[in-house]
Amino acid sequence: MTIKAYGTYGADKPLEPLEITRRAPGPHDVQIEIAYCGICHSDLHQARAEWVGTHWPCVPGHEIVGRVSAVGAHVSGFRTGELVGIGCIVDSCRHCPDCEDGLENYCDGMVGTYNGPTDDPPGHTLGGYSQRIVVHERYVLRIRHPEEQLAAVAPLLCAGITTYSPLKHWKAGPGKKVGVVGIGGLGHMGIKLAHAMGAHVVAFTTSESKREDAHALGADEVVVSRNPDEMAAHAKSFDFILNTVAAPHDLDGFLVLLKRDGTMTLVGAPATPHPSPNVFNLITKRRALAGSMIGGIPETQEMLDFCAEHGIVSDIELIRADAINGAYERMLKGDVKYRFVIDTASLSA
């Protein structure tokens, strides 16, 4: 069936209203009426072809929440009327070691919610800046937050899991000093989650104006990273640093803040590479520089349940679909507190 969406036909073109087709639900599919969809910086990277291989038209959006409107004959886990979410993954090979471990995010056959290969309908996947989506039940998440928080739950589906997964993997918790670099969509969730896990949290920002907010989000300390004295005060002290910055920058300034055996994990995915770090900043303290990509489906459900239990949602600015282009410009300036979310009811208005 045909539905309304927002997307773009080229890297240098604005997003505009368009119509797309969704398949009828198959035996294992869940059909979802999308209520809200978050705007991730990855949407901008993809829509502007800053990463290789964007297919047109590009309909971004992988922070999707909504209500089930139909289920296939063999779906047992979901029923019509339930609140559910779809994150960054809508399919994977389902039999490789990564899929068997519930880490579909690392499957070579992972299909992204947008710009991924699909036969049904043929072409590429189209994301959540749209009215409806149809997804195999394996990739559907259950939402246990109260319904009035639904819009603010949407960003958990990418920003939440992308920060939760590395924080868990590198054991953020009581007794650990954890840094979060960049207070944007991912970073503000990283601060909330690391705080809820019990770590001592230090937020790093380039924006003096975010200092007070960072404390309110759960940071025990805030460092304006442009200030060398503030940075030097934390030398050799961190167990773990989660770096969410969306642009190339000097990694050494943060590596030297790690203590012996500390790790800095990059989740930001800038269009062009960072300047290479100085190897001496790694070898002299057995430090590690790592990366992490979203999270698997079971882990995403675990994160949603953790957030529901701890009353954690995203801080959002709700917008109409016709405000997406302006939102992209503000996101590039770091001017969002802290995630734009599209009210998809505006697609039909």
- The site for Zn ion (CB under 5 A) is made up of 40, 42, 92-93, 96, 99, 107, 158
From the CB of 240, what's the least distance to ligand NAP, in Å? 16
Residue 54, interface with ligand NAP (CB under 6 A)? Answer: no
* Region near ligand NAP per CB under 6 A, out of 6-14, 21-29, 176-184, 302-310: 176-184
Cα–Cα distance measured from residue 156 to residue 146, given in angstroms and rounded to the nearest whole number: 14
Residue with tokens 């990277």: 45
Angle at 182 between CA 181 and CA 188, to 5 degrees: 100
From the CB of 25, what's the least distance to ligand NAP, in Å? 28
Cα–Cα distance measured from residue 58 to residue 113, given in angstroms and rounded to the nearest whole number: 11
Residue 249, interface with ligand NAP (CB under 6 A)? Answer: yes
From the CB of 43, what's the least distance to ligand NAP, in Å? 8
Residue 205, interface with ligand NAP (CB under 6 A)? Answer: yes
Angle between helices 159-169 and 297-310 (to 10 degrees): 100
What count of other Cβ atoms lies within 10 Å of the Cβ of residue 224?
17
Cβ closer to ligand NAP: 30 or 99?
A: 99
Conformation bin of residue 49: beta by default, left when phi > 0, alpha when psi is -120 to 50:
left
Cβ closer to Zn ion: 40 or 89?
A: 40
* Region near ligand NAP per CB under 6 A, out of 6-14, 144-152, 185-193, 320-328: 185-193
Residue with tokens 């697609």: 347
Q: Is 65 helix (H, G, I), strand (E, B) or coil?
A: strand
Conformation bin of residue 72: beta by default, left when phi > 0, alpha when psi is -120 to 50:
beta
Residue 193, interface with ligand NAP (CB under 6 A)? Answer: no
Tally the C-alpha atoms within 13 A of residue 199's C-alpha that lie toward its C-beta: 29
Per the DSSP assignment, residues forming a β-bridge with 344 are none
Cβ closer to ligand NAP: 15 or 294?
A: 294
Among the listed residues 3, 49, 247, 319, the single contact to ligand NAP using CB under 6 A: 247
Cβ closer to ligand NAP: 68 or 110?
A: 110
Q: Give me the 62-91 binding string for ligand NAP, x by CB under 6 A, dash otherwise.
A: ------------------------------
**Which of 238, 134, 132 lies closest to 181 in space, CA to CA?**
238
Residue 41, interface with ligand NAP (CB under 6 A)? Answer: yes
Among the listed residues 20, 40, 141, 316, the single contact to ligand NAP using CB under 6 A: 40
Q: Is 297 helix (H, G, I), strand (E, B) or coil?
A: helix
- Please name the amino acid found at residue 126: L
Cβ closer to ligand NAP: 39 or 75?
A: 39
DSSP element (H, E) containing 133: strand 132-136
Residue numbers at the binding site for ligand NAP (CB under 6 A): 40-42, 45, 158, 162, 182-187, 205-207, 210, 244-247, 249, 267-270, 293-294, 331, 334, 336
